[in-house]
Structure 1
Amino acid sequence: MTNWIPDLTGSGPLYQRLADSIEADIDRGVIGAGAKLPPQRDLAYDIGATVGTVGRAYQLLRERGLVSGEVGRGTYVLSQNIGVTKPEAPDASVEGTRYVDAPKGKLRFDSTAAPDIGQGAVVADVLSRTAQDHPHEISSYTRDFPDRWYEAGARWLSRNAFRPTIDTIVPTLGTHAAVMAAIAALTTPGDYVAFEHLTYSQISRSAGLIGRRPPRVASGDEGLGPAGLERVCAQKHPKMIFLIPTAQ
């Protein structure tokens, strides 16, 4: 490689910052699969470090499964492609911004629109009565959450002998906001949050926008692959994993 200098800003041991910087550039495609990393002595000179520091960084990258080293040949970036192909979007009729119909014999995973089996009329009636009875709530931002909302949430989450207390219920403006609030609260920028390949892509994109790194875990016919999860955990040490078991 030529004209490549790693970004070593941040805190922590230099060898770890060097390994993290190389890993980040691999993830972004700055360093492609098959690329040869600079010789340890050359990189040590370029960043003003010892050869031992670079050697520890390269060893850490090998432990993460990102590179392979061969005596006399150098250190090379391994391919991270596990053979997942992106399906072509099928033709479909569209109503507004959402797909209406799925192709025959298939399910849609590129839309959150549910097929209308009569709920449209029910929702329309409920919204109409809500607008008549609570016009101010419809036309104004919610400033406070009534106790009945918390009680409704506790009832909805209750299963068998489990029933959450209302002080553990947190109203949010939609599922997306709830998931992102959990990710933001439990991780910090730079942390990894793992995702299945077949997932709610808007969450993985949003996680990236707030500085989290979203590695993918290989999935098969039975859902998440334990071997793939073990590999990602060994390489990335994710703080969280986002799963949609009902979609698998």
Structure 2
Amino acid sequence: MTHWLPDLKAGTGPLYVRIADAAETAIKTGALADGAKLPPHRDLAYDLKVTIGTITRAYALLRERGLVSGEVGRGTYVQGGRRDASPAGDPLTSAYGGTRALVPPSGKLRFDTTAAVDVGQAEIIGRVMMEIATEHPSEISSYTRTVSPDWAEAGRRWLAQGGWAPDPETVLPQLGVHAGVNAVMAAVTGPGDRLVCEHLTYSQVARSATLMGRRIVLADMDEQGVLPEDFERVCAREHPKAAFIMTSGQNPTTSCLPLSRRKDIIDIARRHNVWLIEDYLYGGMIADGIPTLAELAPDRTFILNGLSKSVAAGVRGAWVACPPHMAQRVRLTQKLVSGGLPFLLAELSARLVLSGAAEEIRDRVLTELAEREAAARRLLAGQQFRSHPRLPFLWLKLPEPWLSGTFKQAALDQNVLIDDEDEFKAARTDRVFHHVRIGFSEGRDRQISLGGLETIGRILHQAPSGEGAVI
């Protein structure tokens, strides 16, 4: 570790900016060499007599400038000499990679994932894959050039909610919901166009959009979801081409958009000619009975759902239902963006759904999630958080004086990986929520997951001291 202490008497502006400016000067002059490890947050905060949060913001600003790379659990390094040891050490990864480590440290409990719980689905999936390989050897050895009617029918069934189901002719299989959203964005927007996102959302979609040359604009939200009046403001001022919205089981807040707001959003989208991209990955698990945007406005909405959270993330199965005249365009952009759909995975996903195996697995997953969510309510009693018996995560409000990033580091020090609120911010915003997301679906052994929740509970009852340490 390099001994470095900036002179805060020089410069103007907030302390964290002056610290970052001093570090940038030291890097450019060689006082901080490539690969040098910056002092830990707690040490530098103590030496400078400032808060941990000030140092965290300064280091974050340095990452934005592409001058340092952060390695979870290992420290912050000057960009350059350690690129071989840190895949996240290049400016592109720093800009688009989010707050998670590109290569997560080993030996940690993964509460930063919400993949389907392991309920023994591998045996079923393996048997179906063997059947496919036996029955379709030529299709497996070649490229996928057609979409089987069975694939569309499986998507129609998986996307269906209540008494509504999309027309199978509008349904296309995708290589996961995220890839499907990318295909839709490529179909309905161009470089420079704007995409509306909520302040907090599945922000990897926003990063993908930015990487593709689209611009993110934010619509405000409350505990029920996106605010129609602010969506109207954004549409009138920014003229976006599309909006990405998670209507039910919103990630990370768990909110469900009321029917009245859904109707308002549709009316606004129609007036301003905005496409709606409805991520229903968690909504399909909740099955709250509220009509989807796609049911209310099939002419304007692309709805997506898949298998990753309720059946098996490794299958990468998903479907999108498009407005009738847009299906072929999305099929083309999906091929251009992803390189095409693998026959094996598309056929596997369809067979799992059409045979009833996917529904059987989902029922087992949801049963296990309900047990874990109930345990979380017991173990975190007295804390403020939002959860749902059918969702694999909870949205935890941190008590004073915890900050989101500091609490994340404290959990890491106790061998638990969680997500701070910045992981879900679609773009730069002044909003601070003081929340973290806790996923609890990892692993087949429920007791290991409950042990992690107990660890989170212990940290919450202790005060932050230093860089993620607790006393």
TM-score, structure 1 as length reference = 0.49
Q: What TM-score does the superposition give when structure 2 sets the normalisation length? A: 0.28
Greater Rg, structure 1 or structure 2?
Answer: 1
